[in-house]
Amino acid sequence: MSSFQVLVGGLAIVASFGAAGGNRPAMKSDAASFDVIDRRGQGNTRYLFRDPSFEAAWDFCTRRLAIVAAARPH
């Protein structure tokens, strides 16, 4: 059984048991919080945002994608 994960561009929102549960990955129904991970990095996992609600993690990812897209020439 794998953990709940949503891919948003180069980022991933991963369900976890929260800080009290050792930030271990969890299924969505068991999640106490979520972590935002940069999937583009090689090697070590780079956490960008730890322990927010799903909505806060989603907002973080979409804002970050909007900032990156605005910086690119169209």
Q: Bridge partners of 20?
A: none
- Closest Cα partner for 28 from 2, 60, 59? 2
pLDDT band per the 50, 70, 90 thresholds, residue 1: low
Tens of pLDDT, residues 9-54:
999 999 999 888 888 889 888 889 999 999 887 777 899 999 999 9
| Domain that residue 17 falls in | 5-71
Q: Bridge partners of 34?
A: 15
Sign of the four-CA dihedral 6, 2, 35, 17: positive
CA–CA separation, 50 and 41 (whole Å): 17
Kind and range of the H or E run holding 33: strand 33-38
Q: Is the pLDDT of residue 8 over 80?
A: yes
* Total count of domains within the chain: 1
